[in-house]
Structure 1
Amino acid sequence: MASNAPVNADDVSTIGQRWYVLFIMMLVYTISIADRYVLSTLLGPISKELNLSDIGAASLGIPLALFYVLMGIPLSWLCDRSNRRTLLAACVAGWSLMTALTGYTRGYYDLLLARIGVGVGEAGGTPACNSIIADYFPADRRSMAMTIFALGAPIGAWLGSDLAGYVSKLYGWRAAFLVLGVPGIILAIIIMVTIKEPTRGRLDAVVEDKAPSVMETLRFLWSQKAAVHAMMGAGLSAFWGWGLMWFTPLFLQRTYGMDEGAAGGLLGEIYLVGGIGASLVTAYVVARPSFTDPRKISNLLAVVTAVATIPSFLAYWTYDLGVAKLMWWIFIPAIYFYIGPAMALCQNLAAPKMRGMAIAISLIIANLLNLIVAPAIVGGLSDFFAGSQPAGAESLRLAQLILAPSGLWAAWHYWRASKYIIEDQKRAVGYV
């Protein structure tokens, strides 16, 4: 790797081009999150129709996560070496088609196969988006850009909760998958027609002759202590936050007697308003000149995550729906707060031609923890606490309470990352 002076973003793209690309990438992330959330929202009617236990319901998340992990490395390897625009369009079209086809499934194994298809497609989506955004926004603006990109998470969660619950209540759960699948196919066409592939690493001072191998990337990232802690912090944030939210629609249905429409509507409002609000506040904060110091961003993530762990516990401890809603209004926005800054930390701690792979590794950790490990822990504990009886509200409550304190573990990793991040970022991109 060689070092040059960093390139001014205005020399290679207009502000309109940068923000258009960022908007399209945000829409991709929106559809990705919506296509994941729809299954969680509809666990109630799906479990009822398929006669599933809580651990059986948890297993529905495994195909997506498992094939996301299996395909994450090869697709991110391809992302670092090929036309990212074309790869992204193909992935979006693929997972959207499989989401729509989920509406035609007629049994447990059909549904698992469809979710495998969604997982394969999504494995190439976010790494390509991250890598493209990094070539439109310089290092000191990536936290802001990635936070705008992360707006897709609350919007997608709202679509996968509120809209999916509404459609399911009116037309059945299969119709919800059809409604959420078709827009992604249209977006894939828009990407192919309107987005141009940027020159890789054009805004960084570090220049690489060729893309490193998987092992070279792993060795480099492992040598970056800040990258290891940032990835673990992000992964454990997903384990804590999204792990709790996986069973929350079912928790609401069991504890407070709601149907999937009412539960999805309650959570969807918080996702949309609270999640977008948290993301916009994050974008404002990290865009301030004082937050060009990456240590401040890492420490901010640590403080917010640690503080939000308290309401994440109280939401499942209380028997009062009003108190629970208030706790979710504090806790849920916090699990959107970390996404953009954590992705930006990962981008800035990886060299330009290994960014797709770096994001893929980070997402593999996160998805293993929040789509396989966390649901398995909660579902397994819920069935265990229920004993010989079918799992119910109290068994699920206890299982959620055991998971909730893990937010403190994530906060510790963000704090540790701040101790090494200055030196490690200089090594990766050539400047801070």
Structure 2
Amino acid sequence: MTNKTRPTLSPARWYVVTILALVYALNIADRYVVSTVLEPIRKEFGLSDTGVGWLTGVSLAIFYIFAGLPIARYADRANRRNIVAVALITWSGMTALLGMTQNFWQFLLARIGVGIGEAGCTPPSTSIIADNFPRGRRAYALTLWALGLPLGAWLGSSVAGQIVDHFHSWRAAFVALGVPGVVFGLVILLTVREPIRGRFELVTETSEPAATFSETCRFLWSQRSAWHINAAGAVICLWGWGMLFWMQTYFERAYGLSTSDAGARLGTIYFWAGTLATIATGALLALPQMQDAKRIAWFLAGIVILSTIPSFIIFWTHSLTVATAMLWLVIPCVYLYMGPTMALLLNFLPPTMRAQGMAISLLAANVCNLIIAPTAVGWISDTLAARLGNNAESLRYALLALSLTGFWAGYHYLTSVRTYDSDDVRLGHPAKIAEPSTLKQA
């Protein structure tokens, strides 16, 4: 497809971004609510920190991973809009079902269902957005889509905490957050259109069959820039989302806050710090200078490295005021990286591999934040608790160790820049290629 025949951008693309951002918000809320009610669940089912990590994190991640890859493979050749809608209805229904469970095994099975449903959210959603925007604008569009993160965190923390407080039951939060998603899935089927695959690429690839999983893996490995971008995103998930998985429980134990009080405090920070940081990042990425992928990577590296220091202080201090202040500094980084990182990765993948490439990225990310972080932190906490005689202090030391992994993520962002030019040329996109004038105003 030549520059002359490239399609212009319809205003309807922003409706698609908005709808998919709301889907992402429900995805995060239905996942986040577990962290909000982690302590009540642990006490009712009589679990250790390791046990609750397996029940709420690992059970979701394992089936998310196994379902995510075939769903992504299907999304690279089928109607992605339908996949997103069905996935939303599935995980929302299973989230509501979590509120009706009465024992460990019932909760485990419903949580597995949530994982299978959520596997159909991000890969097809980001692929849809990539086919609604040219390469230079994808970071901006995906950053706006990522506003679903702070919105979902607020719903899963503050709103869920208030629901628990009002109904005096952690089960009510799952029902209240799950039911609306079933209805919203029908709205997607009726109002969102499936875009033409690869329509903004320099070379028409829509007639090519979807790549196989092995082909996608080999391509990702050969694209060293994409490999390091993927690694950076995975380690940020280990660092940031791993900390946030335990943050509610930590604040309850260390400072004696109730579920609703801790949820309100954290949810307010998640929403305002996350939203403002995401909007500011979107405005920054809208600048012509920031359409250079290298500058985006340098920006992300600097932010995550600097944010690692206050993340350590959160758990080092014994002051609730200081910990809260440091959280205001860390949360923006945990949220703002998502859209730009996904855009960088998508820009180094051909259209026939995008959903699968994103699924592989999410596989690594979810292993880090839903398997390693919950179980490793839980295991360290349980091990130290026997010596310290205090599960608040043991959790503190476990999270101190986790907080330092932010430096690791920064390293991968910096390293990825080294091969941007050569990897870009392999895709048929010379490093300095201008977008046509019809697309500059997107």
Normalized against structure 1, the TM-score is what? Answer: 0.97
Q: Give the match for residue 384 of structure 2.
A: 385
Q: Give the match for residue 275 of structure 1.
A: 274
Q: Give the match for residue 342 of structure 1.
A: 341
Quote the offset at 1:247 in angstroms: 0.8
**Match of 2:29, SS?**
helix
Q: Give the match for residue 367 of structure 1.
A: 366
Q: Give the match for residue 95 of structure 1.
A: 91
Deviations 1:144-165 (A, max 9, x none): 0000010001110110001111
Cα distance in 2 for partners of 1:116, 1:429 equals 41
Q: Give the match for residue 283 of structure 2.
A: 284
Pair 390,30 (structure 1): closer, same or farther in 2 beyond 3 Å: farther
Q: Give the match for residue 217 of structure 2.
A: 218
Quote the offset at 1:423 in angstroms: 2.6
Quote the offset at 1:195 in angstroms: 0.8
Cα distance in 1 for partners of 2:216, 2:6 equals 27
Aligned AA (1:46): I
Pair 57,285 (structure 1): closer, same or farther in 2 beyond 3 Å: same
Q: Give the match for residue 177 of structure 1.
A: 174
**Aligned partner (choices 101, 118, 122) of residue 122 of structure 1:** 118
Establish whether residue 30 from structure 1 lines up as the match of residue 30 from structure 2.
no
**Aligned partner (choices 103, 109, 113) of residue 109 of structure 2:** 113
Deviations 1:259-296 (A, max 9, x none): 11011111100111000011001101111100111000
Q: 5 Å matches for 1:248-259?
A: 248-259=247-258
Cα distance in 2 for partners of 1:260, 1:8 equals 53
Cα distance in 1 for partners of 2:383, 2:271 equals 34
Deviations 1:160-192 (A, max 9, x none): 001111111221100000010011111111110
Q: Give the match for residue 191 of structure 2.
A: 194
Establish whether residue 18 from structure 1 lines up as the match of residue 13 from structure 2.
yes
**Aligned partner (choices 80, 99, 102) of residue 84 of structure 1:** 80
Cα distance in 1 for partners of 2:107, 2:4 equals 48
Q: Give the match for residue 206 of structure 1.
A: 203
Aligned AA (1:285): L
Query: How many correspondences in the alignment?
Result: 427
Q: 5 Å matches for 1:394-413?
A: 394-413=393-412
Q: Give the match for residue 140 of structure 1.
A: 136
Q: 5 Å matches for 1:229-268?
A: 229-268=228-267
Q: 5 Å matches for 1:280-319?
A: 280-319=279-318
**Match of 1:335, SS?**
helix
Pair 249,6 (structure 1): closer, same or farther in 2 beyond 3 Å: farther
Please say if residues 388 and 394 of structure 2, whose CA atoms lie closer than 8 Å, have aligned partners that are also in contact: no
Cα distance in 1 for partners of 2:27, 2:61 equals 13
Cα distance in 2 for partners of 1:390, 1:245 equals 24
Please say if residues 6 and 199 of structure 2, whose CA atoms lie closer than 8 Å, have aligned partners that are also in contact: no
Unpaired stretches in structure 2, ≥5 consecutive residues: 432-442
Quote the offset at 1:394 in angstroms: 0.4
Please say if residues 308 and 331 of structure 1, whose CA atoms lie closer than 8 Å, have aligned partners that are also in contact: yes
Pair 376,6 (structure 1): closer, same or farther in 2 beyond 3 Å: farther
Cα distance in 2 for partners of 1:256, 1:376 equals 23
Please say if residues 351 and 429 of structure 1, whose CA atoms lie closer than 8 Å, have aligned partners that are also in contact: no
Between 1:106-115 and 1:414-423, the stretch displaced more is 414-423
Pair 340,179 (structure 1): closer, same or farther in 2 beyond 3 Å: same
Establish whether residue 165 from structure 1 lines up as the match of residue 161 from structure 2.
yes
Q: Give the match for residue 351 of structure 1.
A: 350
Between 1:385-394 and 1:304-313, the stretch displaced more is 385-394
Between 1:319-328 and 1:208-217, the stretch displaced more is 208-217
Q: Give the match for residue 323 of structure 1.
A: 322
Give the share of equivalent positions with the same residue, in percent.
45
Deviations 1:87-138 (A, max 9, x none): 1111110000000110000011111111101110111111110010011111
Which stretches of structure 1, 4 residues or longer, exceed 2 Å deviation after superposition? 3-9, 388-391, 425-432
**Match of 1:131, SS?**
helix
**Match of 1:52, SS?**
coil
Pair 240,353 (structure 1): closer, same or farther in 2 beyond 3 Å: same
